[in-house]
């Protein structure tokens, strides 16, 4: 499920941060500055107005975006976010990060992202459907199985993907399974897709644990965000025997140093819609949660939660970025100086796009795999990407983030050079 329960507060412009990161990668990995210049810009972007008939008879006009950053390695791929704080620069940054994520995982995709400025929590089902269908119609010439393939992100879910699939298909006159991923199983979704992001994060943590000569059940874990990524990660890692000591949603967190009863927390959230009032746990704020004693801190909510203001107070020795961009570059430096190992977003939360790739392949072939097959293939790709990143980190004596970005940007740069500049 996806919900957008509270607006994030972006303190820094995400696209400027993403471009600065890219320039730094270019320097460390000695990539041609001309290529870095090309990759600093998004290939294409559309801004659309989305008039929607509201249930009370009025018409609201929403603003939406769809941005493709790069298609050197294949059609572009990326989620659609419904959130009040969406900005064009946030969408551009997220599109660029998708290019790096797909390249790092070895997928034949470029990066894209979409967003609509709205609060889905305050829209009825009918309003949400009309908004989605009109948004899809406005971007219909820009998406497609060979062109640009959306997926869910914050505030969107399988239901929204089903409406996109249906709107696109009705316009084409036949079902086009490959136009969107994260679809419900009944309309061509893939087994294992719902929990894929969390599963990929868990495989990354397992691979990291091996490097530390530890088992997953030896770690204590704090998880921020209890939506698609956070809740599934809590369940999966708890299932591996790790001690989850705190979890949170937008309203705040719950903490028990002896360990949260994760199945009870999932049931409580399902019933009450909040983690507040969970038995055998004390309330903590989201700010306090980031600073709790633990080995692994997994921010799985929104961007920029670990900043220069709190990075020096983080107690965890490992940060697993379930969310996109939760650690700012300034905080990254502080954490690196303090020896905190950051498993970066492009690696740690790439499980979702990997299984989206599987869904696209299955849809194109109209041949669907067993869940064990999906998970085994995801495991292979996640571990391979982790090992490649770890090796690059050692060779370059750099951070996991720089290693991951370096590998990814080099792959996209190579594809761009090999294809040549048109015309």
Sheet containing 282-284: order of strands: 282-284, 252-255, 243-249, 220-224, 296-299, 318-320, 341-343
Query: Among 228, 362, 392, 399, which residue interacts with ligand NAD (rule: CB under 6 A)?
Result: 228
Phi and psi at 9, nearest 5°, equal: -120, 100
3 near ligand NAD (CB under 6 A): yes
Q: Which of 19, 101, 113, 243 is catalytic?
A: 113
Report which of 150, 185, 192 is spatially closest to residue 167, judged by C-alpha positions: 150
Site residues (CB under 6 A) for ligand NAD, limited to 131-160: 152-155
Please identify, using beta-carbon distances, which residue of 35 and 116 lies nearer to ligand NAD. 116
Smallest gap from Cβ 218 to ligand NAD, in A, equals 26
CA dist 201 → 36, 207, 323 (Å): 29, 10, 10
Site mask, ligand NAD, residues 271-310, x = CB under 6 A? ---------------x-------------xxx--------
* Residue least distant from ligand NAD (Cβ): 227
Site mask, ligand NAD, residues 165-204, x = CB under 6 A? --------------------------------x-------
Query: Among 70, 190, 248, 328, which residue interacts with ligand NAD (rule: CB under 6 A)?
Result: 248
Q: How far apart are CA 347 and CA 352, in angstroms?
A: 11
| Cis peptide leading into residue 423 (ω within 30°) | yes
Q: Which stretch binds ligand NAD (CB under 6 A): 312-320, 321-329, 333-341, 368-376?
A: 321-329
Smallest gap from Cβ 272 to ligand NAD, in A, equals 13
Pairing of strands 318-320, 341-343: parallel
Report which of 93, 61, 57 is spatially closest to residue 78, judged by C-alpha positions: 93
Query: Among 136, 167, 224, 362, which residue interacts with ligand NAD (rule: CB under 6 A)?
Result: 224
Report which of 101, 152, 107 is spatially closest to residue 344, judged by C-alpha positions: 101
Please spell the DSSP secondary structure of 222-236, one letter per residue: EEE--SHHHHHHHHH
Instruction: Report the largest interatomic distance among the alpha carbons of the chain, rounded to a whole angstrom.
Output: 65
Q: Which stretch binds ligand NAD (CB under 6 A): 39-47, 243-251, 378-386, 396-404?
A: 243-251
- Catalytic positions are 113
**Interaction site with ligand NAD (CB under 6 A):** 1-6, 8, 152-155, 197, 224-230, 248-250, 286, 300-302, 322-324, 349, 352
């Amino acid at each position: 499920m996806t919900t957008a329960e509270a607006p994030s507060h972006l303190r820094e412009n995400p696209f400027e941060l993403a471009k600065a990161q890219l320039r730094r990668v270019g320097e460390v990995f000695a990539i041609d500055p001309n290529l870095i210049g090309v990759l600093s810009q998004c290939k294409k972007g559309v801004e659309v107005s989305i008039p929607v008939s509201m249930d009370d008879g009025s018409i609201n006009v929403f603003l939406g975006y769809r941005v493709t950053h790069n298609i050197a390695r294949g059609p572009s791929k990326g989620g659609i976010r419904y959130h009040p704080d969406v900005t064009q620069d946030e969408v551009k940054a997220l599109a660029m990060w998708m290019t790096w994520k797909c390249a790092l995982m070895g997928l034949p995709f470029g990066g894209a992202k979409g967003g609509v400025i709205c609060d889905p929590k305050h829209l009825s089902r009918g309003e949400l459907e009309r908004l989605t269908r009109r948004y899809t119609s406005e971007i219909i010439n820009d998406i497609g199985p060979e062109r640009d393939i959306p997926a869910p992100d914050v505030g969107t879910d399988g239901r929204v993907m089903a409406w996109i699939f249906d709107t696109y298909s009705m316009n084409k006159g036949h079902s086009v399974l490959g136009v969107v991923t994260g679809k419900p199983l009944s309309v061509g979704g893939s087994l294992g897709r719902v929990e894929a992001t969390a599963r990929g994060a868990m495989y990354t943590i397992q691979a990291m644990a091996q490097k530390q000569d530890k088992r997953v059940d030896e770690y204590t874990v704090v998880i921020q965000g209890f939506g698609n990524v956070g809740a599934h990660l809590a369940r999966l890692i708890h299932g591996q025997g790790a001690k989850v000591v705190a979890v949170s949603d937008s309203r705040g967190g719950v903490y028990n140093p002896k360990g949260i009863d994760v199945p009870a927390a999932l049931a409580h959230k399902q019933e009450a819609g909040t983690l507040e009032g969970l038995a055998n746990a004390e309330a903590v704020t989201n700010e306090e949660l980031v600073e709790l004693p633990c080995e692994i801190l997994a921010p799985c909510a929104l961007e920029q939660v670990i900043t220069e203001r709190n990075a020096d107070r983080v107690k965890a020795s490992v940060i697993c970025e379930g969310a996109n961009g939760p650690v700012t570059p300034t905080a990254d430096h502080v954490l690196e100086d303090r020896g905190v190992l950051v498993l970066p977003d492009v690696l740690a939360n790439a499980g979702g796009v990997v299984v989206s790739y599987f869904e696209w392949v299955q849809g194109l072939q109209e041949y669907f795999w067993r869940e064990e097959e999906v998970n085994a293939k995801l495991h292979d790709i996640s571990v391979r990407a982790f090992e490649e990143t770890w090796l690059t980190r050692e060779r370059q004596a750099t951070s996991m983030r720089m290693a991951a970005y370096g590998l990814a940007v080099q792959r996209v740069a190579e594809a761009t050079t090999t294809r040549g500049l048109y015309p």
